[in-house]
Structure 1
Amino acid sequence: MTSPRQKPTPRASSAFLTVDPEKDGKQVGFLMIPHSPHDDAWGATRIPIAIIKNGSGPTAILEGGNHGDEYEGPIAICDLIRDLDPGRVQGRLILMPANNVHAVIAGQRTSTVDGLNFNRTFPGDPRGTITQQISAFVSDHILPLGDAFLDLHSGGSSLDIIPSAIVEPTDDPGLHKRNVAAVQAFDAPMTVVIANLGEPRTATATACRQGLVTVGTEMAGAGAVSLEALKICRRGVANVLDHLGIVARDKPEPRRGDGQVLELPGTAAYVYATADGIFEPFHANGEKVSAGQPAGKIHCTWDPTRPPEMLHYAADGILYGRRQPGRVRPGNCCLIVAAPYRGVLS
């Protein structure tokens, strides 16, 4: 049996929208959060938002720019804002391409205003810092409007990840089944269950707690726009909107994924730097690896008398993601291993 939706009680907030979520047609405006820094006494942070509503049907919320150095998702969302004819919509789309807006403008993972990682602030604080206020408004006022949530990520500037669609775990068996169906409809080259080591402060974890069908992505990364990943993202978003019955595809697309579902096997999935230096990986993304196998070396080139430090894998599987910058410090994530999913899919 599916649990009832757990909609939060909205908390008092000074934030407001310049668009009306209940109005038909296409509107493009902003979520406005009063912001009073040194040079702007009564200013506001503006987070772009578009509403496309027509007829009856479900509501899908599309988020991009959760991290400011992840590009394919925001581009795909902006395409929809500019190009989608409202007449093709049956229901409602809420399109937010740059939620962590200060980070998006700077092209970095975290906010330049308060230094916070937006995706570790949910459910936010409507009286907190700017990032906490954005996540609070999304949690209290945007997610409760939705039936489905697409959170479009990539590896950002620090990771290069195999393009994939992500299942957010949930304890609700009915929601889990719907999540898996929607993620498989996205039809990425790879489907991966990612629990973020049980982290509850992410946007997708929050969406699941509120009962929304939830789809995540990891679209390449490496601090650039991947042409192939952008094509996968655009096609996958169209697939999910068709699957939800909101925007029908002009014609069916043949499936391209192999149907395999992987997961990150807990802490063993991650290979962390143990020394200060330059990381030399031994394998390319997609290669099979095994626990105990040498994974790479960390070189201290400014001290040539010091031998390289060897890193090893802690899990069997395939190399799913690899650090992009060569320079590492202790604790940096260098490699990520994905293994066959051991859970129940339906």
Structure 2
Amino acid sequence: MTSQRQQPAPRPSSAFLTIDPEREGKQLGFLMIPHSPDDDAWGATRIPIAVIKNGTGPTAILEGGNHGDEYEGPIAICDLIRDLDPGRVQGRLILMPANNVHAVIAGRRTSPVDGLNFNRTFPGDPRGTITQQISAYITDHVYPLGDAFLDLHSGGSSLDIIPSAIVEPTDDPALHKRNVAAVRAFDAPMTVVISNLGEPRTATAAACRAGLVTVGTEMAGGGTVSLEALKVCRRGVANVLDHLGIVARDTPEPRRGEGGILELPGTSAYVYASADGIFEPFHANGETVSAGQPAGRIHCTWDPARAPELLHYAADGILYGRRQPGRVRPGNCCLIVAAPYKGTLS
């Protein structure tokens, strides 16, 4: 499965690695990006990276910390960095637990350095802001090394999402089939196709354009570490690495079953706040809901004479995710509905 894809020449960049991704064994180091802020004339942003290589075989890239307030994926990746015996690897793992490193350190979704959402910057700009430079290096130098990409997300501080494995849509039918197989191998409680309304600037969309077998996740959220979601994430990563032939499981685990695949049905999947106030949801994650049904209401407690503003669902399905903070302003995503997937699986 080792990649034979034709790759464009990388764009000029001042970034560099402190390790050699072609060397056998386990290495821990950094992607270094020269960074000259107010208090450091010739400093560098350090993005942690580990490579575990043994013999021949495919390469899987594992990303965590795409958003800095999502924790289960980075923990699972750090487990592999510390604990995985290189002798068990057949091929190569490129392990990056904190790619949006400034946001990770701050515990924020976006970078406190330039205010950017890392997952809306691909393919990046090697001469842009620090966040754009990180995504550019991954696009130009990391993706070409890989055959598969696992992007481990959670709901972050603002959302609580049912733990799930995510299929990134692609126009390549053969890649779509491989993506679905790998996501099913993850064996999460739920499998969901998420297109981000056609957003092309995400890490998973860029990975699909690079021809990588791509697996995403959404592991709970709410700004905490969910013990159950962490268990799902660790198990799912092990399942995918076994599926790819890189790290065989000692003992195969029973599958949860094939089950159906869901999707977010376009703009109708989302219920947005229409007023400033405090959001009261009417349903728990996993409940069946229908278009037109009252979804919740927004209270303006500092103006008690004002009646709460009622929100409604725009799609049939199940409640897939809910906003975690009660305080909302117009445009905040309050609820997400997932519906049965209408596309093809092969």
Question: Fold conserved (TM > 0.5)?
Answer: yes
Tell me, what secondary structure is at the counterpart of 2:337?
A: strand
CA distance in 2 between partners of 1:7 and 1:209 (Å): 11
Q: Which residue of 1 aligns with 2:144?
A: 144
Q: Which TM-score applies when normalising by structure 2?
A: 0.98
Distance in 1 between residues matched to 2:172 and 2:253, nearest whole Å:
30
CA distance in 1, matches of 2:112, 2:160: 23
After superposition, what is the alpha-carbon deviation per residue over 1:94-151, rounded to whole angstroms, capped at 9, x for unaligned?
0000000000000010001000000000000000000000000000000010000000
Aligned with 2:74: secondary structure?
Answer: helix
Residues 64 and 99 in structure 1, CA contact (< 8 A), matched pair in contact too: yes
- Other-structure match for 1:330: 330
Query: How many Å separate the matches in 1 of 2:8 and 2:312?
Result: 44
User: Which residue pairs with 1:340 in the alignment?
Assistant: 340
| Equivalent AA in structure 2 for residue 265 of structure 1 | P
What TM-score, normalized by structure 1, do the two folds share?
0.98
**Tell me, what secondary structure is at the counterpart of 1:38?**
coil
- 2:254 aligned partner: 254
Partner of 2:17: 17
1:120 aligns to what? 120
Name the CA distance, whole Å, in 1 between partners of 2:315 and 2:166. Answer: 20
**1:8 to partner: Cα distance:** 3.3
Residue type at the aligned position of 2:127 = R
Displacement of 1:257? 4.5
What 5-or-longer segments of structure 1 have no aligned partner? none
Equivalent position amino acid for 1:219 in 2: M
**Equivalent residue number for residue 196 of structure 2:** 196
Q: Who is 1:85 aligned against?
A: 85
The one-letter code matched in structure 1 to 2:97 is P
1:179-258 → structure 2 map (5 Å cutoff): 179-257=179-257
Deviation at 1:256?
1.6
Change (3 A) 1:156 1:206: same
CA shift, 1:267, in A, is: 0.2
Q: What amino acid does structure 2 have at the position aligned with 1:30?
A: F
For 1:102, the equivalent position in structure 2 comes to 102
- Structure 1 residue 258: Cα displacement: 5.2
- Give the Cα separation in 2 of the matches to 1:65 and 1:8: 27
Maintained 8 Å contact 1:6/1:210: no
Q: Give the whole-Å Cα distance in 2 for the aligned partners of 1:36 and 1:199.
A: 31
AA aligned to 1:181 is A
Q: How many angstroms does 1:5 deviate by? A: 3.7
Preserved contact between residue 26 and residue 86 of structure 2 (Cα < 8 Å): yes
Cα distance in 2 for residues equivalent to 1:58 and 1:83? 20
- Which whole-Å CA distance do the structure 1 matches of 2:150 and 2:62 have between them? 5
Any conservation in 1 of the 2:184–2:258 contact (CA below 8 Å)?
A: no
- Flag the 1:84–1:242 CA change in 2: closer, same or farther, 3 A: same
Shift in CA distance, 223/214, structure 1 to aligned 2, threshold 3 Å: same
Equivalence for 1:67 = 67
Name the aligned partner's letter for residue 217 of structure 1.
Answer: T
SS in 1 for 2:60: strand
Query: 1:63 corresponds to which letter in structure 2?
Result: E
2:133 equivalent in structure 1: 133
| Cα distance per residue 1:203-262 (max 9 Å; x no partner) | 000000010000000000000000000000000000000000000000110002552100
Query: Sequence identity of aligned pairs in percent?
Result: 89
Contact 2:281 2:296 in 1 (8 A): yes
* Cα offset, 1:9, TM superposition: 2.3
Superposed CA deviations along residues 56-91 of structure 1, whole A, max 9, x for unmatched, are 000000000000000000000000000000000000
Which amino acid letter does the alignment assign opposite residue 61 of structure 2?
Answer: I
CA shift digits 1:270-309 (9 cap, x unpaired): 0000000000000000000000000000000000010000
Partner AA of 2:215 in structure 1: V
Q: Which runs of 5+ in 2 are unaligned?
A: none
Do the aligned partners of 1:63 and 1:99 also contact (CA within 8 Å) in 2? yes
Which residue identity does 1:240 align to in structure 2? V
Amino acid at match of 1:125: D
Alignment match, 2:47:
47
Moved over 6 A (4+): none
Aligned alpha-carbon RMSD (Å): 0.8
